Amino acid sequence: MSDLPSTITQEDRKKVQNALKEMSDSMYRVGAEKDLQKDIAQRMLDEVGVNKAAFNKLARIYHASNLAEEAAKNEEFMEFAEAIMAPAERQIGSDND
């Protein structure tokens, strides 16, 4: 049993062809935007010295407007990492409590 239609009308064929063109155009625009984003990140590295990974992370946070949420996640992670890497007497659930 196939997920493809067993018959297709000329009208449906035209709809699919139009949708394929529309999808291809969208993919072209996405590719162009990704190239632009790479160029912007490279420019920030060249002009300001901000490495690409840091700039891209900042851009994602800026775009999502969630700096506070990211800071809270980072703080939570840092507390976890500190507890994992701390000496045994300071670890979470330590028997030395």
pLDDT in tens, 15-51: 999 999 999 999 999 999 999 999 999 999 999 999 9
**Has residue 4 been placed in a domain?**
no
Number of structural domains, the chain?
1
Domain that holds residue 33: 10-50
pLDDT of res. 73: 82
What is the tens place of the pLDDT at every residue in 53-89?
999 999 988 887 877 787 888 888 888 888 888 776 6
What is the distance between the alpha carbons of residues 59 and 33, in angstroms, rounded to a whole number? 14
**Has residue 57 been placed in a domain?**
no
What is the distance between the alpha carbons of residues 96 and 90, in angstroms, rounded to a whole number? 8
**Has residue 73 been placed in a domain?**
no
**Has residue 83 been placed in a domain?**
no
**Has residue 84 been placed in a domain?**
no
Contacts of 83 (CB under 8 A, 6+ apart): 90, 91, 92
0.85 exceeded by pTM: no
